[in-house]
Amino acid sequence: MVTYSELRDDQRRLLALTGLTPREFELLLRAFVRSYERLYPANRTLAGRPRQRAVGGGRIGVLQEPEQKLLFLLVYLKTYPLQVIMAELFDLSQPRVNHWLGRLLPVLRDALDDLGVLPERDARAFARTESPHGPRPHLIIDGTERRRQRPKNPEKQAAHYSGRKKIHSDKNVVVVKAGNKRVGFLSHTYVGRAADKGIADHEGINYPPGTTLYKDSGFQGYEPAVAKTCQAKKKGGRWRVDRS
């Protein structure tokens, strides 16, 4: 079974499995514990009813410790394996994997919100995320794809099939701050067949004043209301200013 005690002193493995360094994991863990205690008070059962016996009674679960809960969730989100694989990695049944994912995902979202690192999801509100008195923002827009299980429905198969990646996937568009690489905006989720520019057009993102926006060829022709856009001529090429 994968445990945090094994990975804590192995930064390479922890980073590969969770996307976080030990220091980042510990920082998130503190917020995760606070969030878990808010959403699931110790004096309540899993069903939300008043607890009849002391905390800790009954069978000890494999995800008893908060660091193990967070590790379980981050491994799933980073690698996105089948739930049966998660069951093998964490010594759980597949139904229990499904149960814990549903239970812990709201906790992680609340913890990230507590830390102030959740990306903006409202395209119209994104323009207000930057201070008008600060430096002019330099932002990067890009499309992201993550593999998903192949749908059984033929129509859904065709919609989720990404010809460029040769996989079935879900897609989002993100806007990242060039300086610190923090994701400032995250779009709704679209099928893998959707084009990056089409998603950006549909979202109607409002950018902060004075924005310089960097984009790749997937956004050819995307010209939002910003100070200027810059696009690479080719993969690995220099940035070219399209307009000012």
What is the per-residue DSSP string for 195-207?
-HHHHHHHHTPPP
Over range 106-121, report the average pLDDT.
94
Which of 115-119, 133-137, 208-212, 239-243 shows the lowest mean pLDDT across its residues?
Answer: 239-243
- Is 100 exposed, middle or buried, given 0-12, 13-18 or 19+ CB atoms closer than 10 A? buried
In this predicted structure, what is the pLDDT of residue 162? 87
Percent of the chain with pLDDT over 90: 66
> How would residue 235 be classed by pLDDT, with cut points 50, 70 and 90?
low
In this predicted structure, what is the pLDDT of residue 242? 55
In this predicted structure, what is the pLDDT of residue 244? 45
Contact 174/187 with Cβ under 8 angstroms? Answer: yes
In this predicted structure, what is the pLDDT of residue 243? 52
Q: Does residue 236 have a pLDDT over 60? A: no
In this predicted structure, what is the pLDDT of residue 58? 55
Q: pLDDT tens-digit profile of 9-38?
A: 999 999 999 999 999 999 999 999 999 999
Is 0.85 topped by the overall pTM?
no
Over range 32-58, report the average pLDDT.
78
> How would residue 151 be classed by pLDDT, with cut points 50, 70 and 90?
confident
Q: pLDDT tens-digit profile of 124-145?
A: 999 998 877 778 899 999 999 9
Tokens representing residue 139 in the block: 């932002």
Output the average pLDDT for the chain.
89
In this predicted structure, what is the pLDDT of residue 131? 76
In this predicted structure, what is the pLDDT of residue 179? 85
Strand partners, 141: 175
Place of tokens 């209301």: 225
In this predicted structure, what is the pLDDT of residue 181? 84
Tokens representing residue 234 in the block: 């080719």
Q: pLDDT tens-digit profile of 64-94?
A: 899 999 999 999 999 888 899 999 999 999 9
Q: Does residue 46 have a pLDDT over 70? A: no
Q: How far is CA 149 from the centre of its chain?
A: 18
Q: pLDDT tens-digit profile of 171-199?
A: 999 999 998 888 999 999 999 999 999 99
